[in-house]
Amino acid sequence: MLFSQLITKLIQDTTEKSLPLFGVELCLCVTIVLMLLVRLFSADRVLPACITAVVGAAAALTCSWLQYRELFAQSAPVSTELFTGLLIHDNFTVYFRAFLSLFLLLTVALTSLTGIPDEEDGPDFYSLLFGATLGMMLMASSNSLLMLFIAVEMASVPSYAMVGFLKGQKSASEGALKYVVYGAGAAGVMLYGISLVAGTLGTADMSLLSERLAAVAADGSGGLGDPELRTFALGLLMILAGLAFKLSLVPFHFWCPDAFEGASAEVAGFLSIASKAGAFALLVRLCISMAGAEGAETLLTAFGVGLGVISIITMTLGNLAAYGQDNLKRLLAYSTIAHAGYMVMAVSAMVVMLSDTAAGDVSRSVASAMEGLLYYLFVYLFMNLGAFAVIALVRNHTYGETIGDVRGLISQAPVLCVVMLVCFFSLVGLPPFGGFVGKFFIFAAVFNAGSSHSFMYVLLAFGCLNTVFSLFYYIRVLKTMFLETRDEDARPVPVQFASWESAFVLTLAGFVILLGVAPYVMSTTANSAAQALVMLQ
């Protein structure tokens, strides 16, 4: 093949096949460029960055909605490889694109309500935000270990900057420094792991992983006694470490509380939700791509159980360490850690079920486990963002984010309190809020996986136990808000019922309730996205 032919083919592939399906990401890119250009021409008085950002996010959302409509209408799941197979476009991707664009829109709305980037910094901030989101979308759609690394870096690097965005604040710079060093270290470890995995398997293409893995396993004994497989396992663990850093799983969670406390509540909310979503998408893809490798079932089971152990440690530590926290962001950081633990339960269950040779066709069970994860993420978006939004709104009035700042808030801002209540109870996992449904799906999946490996029952028990543990610190905050009286000298929080702020948080709370009361639409969507991924594998 001639070089020119190759170029032609590549251009053709890019323009005719890839770019049309890359619309959402393009929207983001265009918005970033636009915002920077606007400032370049000093037109930001006329067109504030937040307007551009809202429009851009809305466009991205619309685009992903169209993609969703198109893809989910089809009877059989379709997947298209973009950019010579570096990315993949399927229901799963679209689900996350839609998820992330929605979240982007909400975050932009929140930041413009709270005015966290001042007008001057608006373009920078939103560029970083959009850039990070772009990276997360790439994470969700990556189909190659190379893309995996690039996407993670794409998502991380702007995040580092965003954490340190509050200029002149010691804690912000400290949080950012810790985040960036930790992130860089984790990325390095992950990259080393990628090199090991790619080297042992001889490919970086994730769609070939299971095939190559089976081949490698066939060469050796198939167990971890085989040096090559052992190298592979080590590499896999290192990749996992990189993802675990993004997911803030124990023991890769150390950055999380510090970075969250240093960052503004809006950024912390963004980090806790979006980067988690992207990382989970990637983790699920990685797991699915390794599934079905004959001869490596033991390895996969070990991987699944390992995830389960991490999950147990993560949620227990997250919930317990949240007990004594006075800073609400820090408390929610630990809550985030715990919730990552809950969600990893689903992945663990999925992997265990996939590696169960005796079980026959497990696609339905796997899909429902994944459905649980996707649903939970979706609910988590609203409940966690709602909680952070309340903290941000309170901070705007009290200049503080500690538990003392919300003491007796019910007398001044009942709307915020009720939203906080809905979000927190949903985080605990109580009906009729969405968190319960999500948790139920995940617990059900774990229980179901119990027939594949009995460790899953232990996992489930810990999941239940942690639900009870978690009640303590959530309710401690609620107790302070509702049952105590506001200090005399506390700054007032005059958030009216008829205000954009209230409307925003009430919308979030409304979605939390809606997802709890009428989970059908979302669960079906999540299910079909999950099923598509499983089927295609």
* Residue numbers 343-372 binding another protein by CB under 8 A: 371
Is residue 32 close enough to count as binding another protein by CB under 8 A?
Answer: no
Q: Does the footprint of another protein cover residue 443 (CB under 8 A)?
A: yes
Please report how close the Cβ of residue 54 comes to another protein at its closest, in angstroms: 26
Q: Work out which of 12, 33, 43, 472 binds another protein, going by CB under 8 A.
A: 472
Among 177, 359, 458, 513, binds another protein (CB under 8 A): 177
Q: Residue 3: how many CB atoms within 10 A of its CB? A: 7
Closest distance of CB 45 from another protein, Å: 27
State yes or no: residue 251 binds another protein (CB under 8 A). yes
Q: How many CA atoms lie within 13 A of 220 on its CB side?
A: 18
- As a whole number of angstroms, the longest Cα–Cα distance in the chain is 80
Minimal distance in Å, beta carbon 100 to another protein?
Answer: 21
Instruction: Pick the piece of the chain touching another protein (CB under 8 A) from 39-47, 62-70, 256-264, 486-494.
Output: 256-264
Q: Which of 126, 376, 441, 462 binds another protein (CB under 8 A)?
A: 441
Q: Does 23 bind another protein (CB under 8 A)?
A: no
Asked whether the beta carbons of 223 and 233 are under 8 A apart, the reply is: no
Total residues in contact with another protein, by rule CB under 8 A = 113
Nearest distance from residue 537's CB to another protein, in Å?
21
Residue with tokens 């209230």: 502
By CB atoms closer than 10 A (0-12, 13-18, 19+), residue 404 is: middle
Using the minimum distance from each CB to another protein, give the nearer residue, 109 or 201.
201
Q: Report how far Cα 326 is from the mean position of its chain's Cα atoms.
A: 25
Please list every residue from 476 through 515 that binds another protein, using CB under 8 A. Answer: 479, 482-483
Cβ count near 13 (within 10 Å): 16
Please, which of residues 126-155 interact with another protein by CB under 8 A? 145-146, 149-150, 153
Distance between CA atoms of 365 and 351, rounded to whole angstroms? 11
Nearer to another protein, 43 or 254 (CB): 254
DSSP annotation string for 137-168: HHHHHB-BHHHHHHHHHHHHHHHHHHHTTSTT
For helices 91-114 and 520-536, give the axis angle rounded to 10 degrees. Answer: 130
Given candidates 102, 116, 196, 392, which one binds another protein under the rule CB under 8 A?
196
- The answer to whether residue 15 forms part of the interface with another protein (CB under 8 A) is no
Q: How far is the CB of 55 from another protein (least distance, A)?
A: 27
CB of 517 to another protein, least distance (A): 9
Please give the residues from 293 up to 332 whose contact with another protein meets the rule CB under 8 A. 298-299, 301-303, 305-306, 309-310, 317, 319-325, 330
Work out the end-to-end distance of the chain between its first and last CA atoms, rounded to an integer number of angstroms.
Answer: 31
**Which one of 57-65, 88-96, 194-202, 346-354 is the stretch in contact with another protein (CB under 8 A)?**
194-202
Radius of gyration of the chain (CA): 23
Residue 159 Cβ, how far from another protein at the closest point, in Å? 10
Question: According to CB under 8 A, which one of 278, 508, 519, 529 is a site residue for another protein?
Answer: 519
Dist CA 404 CA 424 (whole Å): 17
Handedness of CA 103, 105, 106, 107 (dihedral sign): positive
Handedness of CA 486, 488, 492, 498 (dihedral sign): positive
Beta bridge partners of 402: 327
Site for another protein in 368-407 (CB under 8 A): 371
Tell me how far the alpha carbon of residue 373 is from its chain's centroid: 10
